[in-house]
Structure 1
Amino acid sequence: MDTDEQIIEKQPKLSVVLDIINHDGRHLHQERMKHPYYGYWGRPTGKIRWGETMLEAAARELKEETGLKAELHVGGFYHKLDYDVDGKLLEDKYFCFVRGIDPKGEMLTQSDGQRNEWLSDVEFLAKERRFSNLEDLVGYIDAGQTFVVEKKVYL
C-alpha cells in the first residue's frame, strides 16, 4: 500500500530456490508436472510465507516437496523482471537461493505437481526443457559463491 496515495500497489513475488547437494555431488532437481511450464526442469522452489524467514521457508518447502531435511544456508539472490514485446512489465520476481548439504530422509520421487531426481550439471543442461534463469546461475551456485544478480528479460 502506498500510504501517501492510499493505493494498493502490486508487489514482487518472493520465493526460495533450493540447491540441495547429495553425497555424490549431484543436485536435487524437479520436473514440473503441472501447468504452466509442464515438463520443465529446475530446482525445488516455493513461496516465502508471511512471517517466515528464508531458511524456514526453505526447510518447509524441502520437506513438503521431497521428504528431505538438510543443513541449509543462504547462497544468493536473483531478481528477474519479465517484460512483453511492448516493454510492459509482466512479472517481478525475487528468488532467494538456499544451499543445502547432507540431505537426510527418504526422498519422495513424486509429490504434488513435480517429479524429483538427483542430476549432475551435465545431465541437467542436457534436458531439453529447463528454466533458463537456473542455467544462468549454475556457475555461481557450483562455485559456492554468494551472489546477487538482476536481469531484465524481454519475451
Structure 2
Amino acid sequence: MGSIFTLCIIRDDDKVLFQKRYKSPFKGYWNAPGGKVEIQESPKEACIREVYEETGISLNSIKFRGVMTVSDTTKKIDTEVLMLFESNSFQGELISSNEGEVDWIELDRIYESSIVPESMTYLLPYITDYEGIITGKLVYNRQTLEICDISLQS
C-alpha cells in the first residue's frame, strides 16, 4: 500500500491559507498545507499536526471532506491516498516554515493556474462550494495531470 497524505483547506471568509512550497511535489506552487500520516497516527491527527508545523495555526475543529487516490503512470510506486479536510475554526500566529512560505490568498486568485497545481483548481470548488464527501482519483504522467476524476457523494 502507498502512503497516506492529508490536505487541509483553511478558510477565513473569502481567503484560503496556502503555502508556497519549497520542496517537491509542486515546488514553487501555492498549495494547501498537509503532509504524510505517520505511524500510529490517524489522518485527522496528521492533518492537525501538519497544519501546525507548516503554518503555526492550531485548528480548533476540522471537517472530513473526502478521499482521492493519486498515482503516476510512469512510476512503479503504489498508489497514494490523499485525505481531504476543511477548517474555518483556528487560532495562532501565522508563520512560514522550512516547508514553504504561507499566506492568505483570495479564493478568486487561486484559480489562476500559474500559481497553484492544476489538480487544486479542480478540487477546490468541491471543497469550498459543496457539502458532500469527495471521492476520486488523480493520475499524473511525469508531473502532468492526465486524469482528474471527482465524484461528490451527498
Cα pair distance change 1:153/1:33, threshold 3 Å: closer
State how far apart, in whole Å, the 2-side matches of 1:36 and 1:20 are: 20
Which residue among 14, 20, 23 is the counterpart of 1:34?
Answer: 23
- The equivalent of 1:17 in structure 2 is 7
Count the aligned residue pairs: 140
CA offset digits 1:77-124 (Å, max 9, x no partner): 11122112xxx645622100111122211111x211301111123211
- TM-score scaled by length of structure 1: 0.81
Indicate if the aligned counterparts of 2:6 and 2:43 stay in contact, CA closer than 8 A.
yes
- TM-score scaled by length of structure 2: 0.81
How large is the RMSD of aligned CA atoms in angstroms?
1.9
Indicate if the aligned counterparts of 2:54 and 2:99 stay in contact, CA closer than 8 A.
no
Which has more radius of gyration?
A: 1
State how far apart, in whole Å, the 1-side matches of 2:25 and 2:36 are: 16
Indicate if the aligned counterparts of 1:21 and 1:28 stay in contact, CA closer than 8 A.
yes
- The equivalent of 1:124 in structure 2 is 110
Question: Given the alignment of the two structures, is residue 49 of structure 1 paired with residue 38 of structure 2, yes or no?
Answer: yes
State how far apart, in whole Å, the 2-side matches of 1:79 and 1:128 are: 24
Indicate if the aligned counterparts of 1:21 and 1:103 stay in contact, CA closer than 8 A.
no
Provide the identity percentage.
Answer: 23
- Give SS of 1:72's match: strand
State how far apart, in whole Å, the 1-side matches of 2:82 and 2:27 are: 20
In structure 1, list runs of 5 or more residues that go unmatched.
1-10
Task: Specify which structure has the bigger relative contact order, considering alpha-carbon pairs within 8 angstroms and separated by 6 or more residues.
Answer: 1
Give 1:25 shift. 2.9
Question: Given the alignment of the two structures, is residue 104 of structure 1 paired with residue 94 of structure 2, yes or no?
Answer: no
